[in-house]
Structure 1
């Protein structure tokens, strides 16, 4: 681990202290690490052609009574089943639903899918949060039996 010193003017130091208190940080180092990590991830994912893999969440609200909106959103998820890991559906009231979707895959594909959902008429408060990951091919058995099949899959590790 590398140590370095940061000098802040009084106003910025006060804002940083308030930020730490508001978010429950007990020490400056952890707060600075999280801020740097977040900014580096944002920069990497906002490159014109972001490469590599990511995991993330897509969150949005919609009125399930709007003409065929729920079925269009569901069909979009089925069309991209390779990216959707899991979904949580919450009824906010008698009309509005909140959905949070866990996504995993190539950055460009995940971003394109999220853009398609968020830009759909009737979707409100759409947000995508991505975390860049390294994807490592893996193969091992899940079980102890000598005949247990080997499964080919990817392991995802956060980059920062």
Structure 2
């Protein structure tokens, strides 16, 4: 079966592309295309993993966001208020002038946790977000 290659164009900030190129060189990629294909495969695998999260879960969502972006703080608060039934605690601190680090600790329905994580990840100004989950059943 012949694989058809598709050509795409993307716009990136120069600093992001420089960091990507540096990582590609250190990891031994032969081209940007090879690195981008690998990054897309990893993204797709992560998305598929998130779709399999079901049942009662304990979880954390960690994020770094640009608190100087207009509306990001209020958007995060609004989203979190929609999911108060899941959130057990959160920790927030300022990393540097414009960047905040926050960890949200959750327990509840896995599908709702994923829904919350995806809403946070899609916000403009969120630079990094990571969901970690474990089965929520307690064993003694």
2: CA distance, partners of 1:49 / 1:95: 35
Q: 1:118 to 1:48 in 2, by over 3 A?
A: closer
Q: CA RMSD in A?
A: 1.8
Is residue 129 of structure 1 aligned with residue 138 of structure 2? no
Asked which structure has the greater RCO (Cα within 8 Å, sep 6+), the reply is 2
2: CA distance, partners of 1:48 / 1:100: 21
Partner of 1:64: 67
Q: 1:118 to 1:90 in 2, by over 3 A?
A: same
> Is this contact kept in 1: 2:62–2:131, CA < 8 A?
yes
Question: In terms of Rg, which structure is larger?
Answer: 1
Q: 1:97 to 1:48 in 2, by over 3 A?
A: closer
Is residue 104 of structure 1 aligned with residue 107 of structure 2? yes
Q: 1:87 to 1:48 in 2, by over 3 A?
A: closer
1: CA distance, partners of 2:94 / 2:109: 30
CA drift of 1:130 comes to 0.3
1: CA distance, partners of 2:50 / 2:130: 18
Q: Which has the higher strand share?
A: 1
CA drift of 1:46 comes to 3.1
Paired residues, number: 92
CA drift of 1:121 comes to 1.1
Unaligned runs of 5+ in 1: 1-44, 135-156
Q: What's the TM-score, normalizing by structure 1?
A: 0.54
Unaligned runs of 5+ in 2: 1-47
1: CA distance, partners of 2:98 / 2:62: 17
Q: What's the TM-score, normalizing by structure 2?
A: 0.61
Deviations 1:31-85 (A, max 9, x none): xxxxxxxxxxxxxx93855431000110011111101110000111011111111
Partner of 2:38: none
Is residue 73 of structure 1 aligned with residue 42 of structure 2? no
